Amino acid sequence: MIPISPGRSRRATLAGAVCALLVAGTALTGCSEDPNEGTNGVGRLPADQIQTKAQKAAASVGTVRLHGSVQAGGRAYDLDMRLKPQGGIGSVSTEGQTFRLLRVGQELYLKADAAFWGKGGEDGDSKAADKLASKYVKVPKGDPSYTEFIGFTDKNVLLSGLLTLHGKLSTDGHHEQDGTRTVRVTGDDGAGGTLDVSLEGKPYPLRLVRAGEAGTLTFSAWGADFPLKKPAKDDTLDYGKQLPTS
């Protein structure tokens, strides 16, 4: 069931009562509330144009928060990231482990506990884990982890790959996301994914269900700036050219 705000419920009730009176008096038939009244108007557009406007709105602003789940590279990830052109910061969970990612420019840092780094394995691994635990570890550009994780901190890379539905596009009614009215676009009746687009203000994408059950993401804080800076030197560790394989 889609939650409806009390204000909208009262307006809908009043509109319904007026329509009933008018119909009863034969003054008007077919009376109904316009779901696009007072919106930005994208709900009246064809599905492909709604998707295009959402993509352009997302590209037009520098910052966003996204959180939810994605499938990538054969793994499932839970993300909660804040992104801007200069970098990003947030948390990532996969296979029962959670770590923080921080990118400033092209420098990528990873922060995790000893269990993530392999504590409990061989003596060498255990010592390395103790050394790395709870530090922002600078990820070398030549390390496989750099390529794997930097995409989670890049707004353009993430959104360009996410905000395109697959198959024939159509609209699937009006909905709400965290109290904001939306219009829903689907690809192949949902099999190609669904995208909820804001009907209030700019038509930002607010919720994405990816095709093939490849995750669900919500988008918020569009245009809201946040601090982003390199970690302090005493909280940073440069491990060298490659991180421990564990």
pLDDT tens track for 155-204: 998 898 889 999 999 999 999 999 999 999 999 999 999 999 999 999 99
Q: Of 171, 172, 226, 174, nearest to 200 (Cα)?
A: 174
Instruction: Return the pLDDT at 9.
Output: 45
Contact present, 192 and 166 (Cβ < 8 Å): yes
Instruction: Return the pLDDT at 117.
Output: 82
Q: Of 237, 225, 229, 245, nearest to 84 (Cα)?
A: 225
Q: What are phi and psi of 211, to 5 degrees?
A: -65, 150
pTM above 0.85, yes or no: no
pLDDT over 70 percentage in the chain: 81
pLDDT band at 11 (very low <50, low <70, confident <90, very high): very low
Q: What angle do CA 39, 41, 43 make, to 5 degrees?
A: 100
32/4: higher pLDDT: 32
81/8: higher pLDDT: 81
Contact present, 99 and 92 (Cβ < 8 Å): yes
Q: Of 246, 87, 58, 64, nearest to 160 (Cα)?
A: 58
pLDDT band at 128 (very low <50, low <70, confident <90, very high): confident
Beta bridge partners of 90: 81, 101
CA dihedral 210, 213, 217, 218 (to 10 degrees): 90
Instruction: Return the pLDDT at 23.
Output: 40
Contact present, 163 and 60 (Cβ < 8 Å): no
Per the listing, tokens 């709400």 go with: 176
How many of the other CB atoms lie within 10 Å of CB of 49?
Answer: 13
Q: What is the pLDDT of residues 220-240, one digit of tens each?
A: 999 999 999 999 999 998 866
- Name the percent of the chain in helix, strand, coil, to the closest 5: 30, 30, 35
pLDDT over 90 percentage in the chain: 61
| Mean predicted lDDT score pLDDT of the chain | 85
Q: What is the pLDDT of residues 200-218, one digit of tens each?
A: 999 999 999 999 989 999 9
Buried b (16+ CB within 10 A) or exposed e, 206-219: bbbbbbeeebebeb
Q: Return the structure tokens found at 233.
A: 């030197």
Instruction: Return the pLDDT at 148.
Output: 86
Instruction: Return the pLDDT at 242.
Output: 60
Instruction: Return the pLDDT at 112.
Output: 92
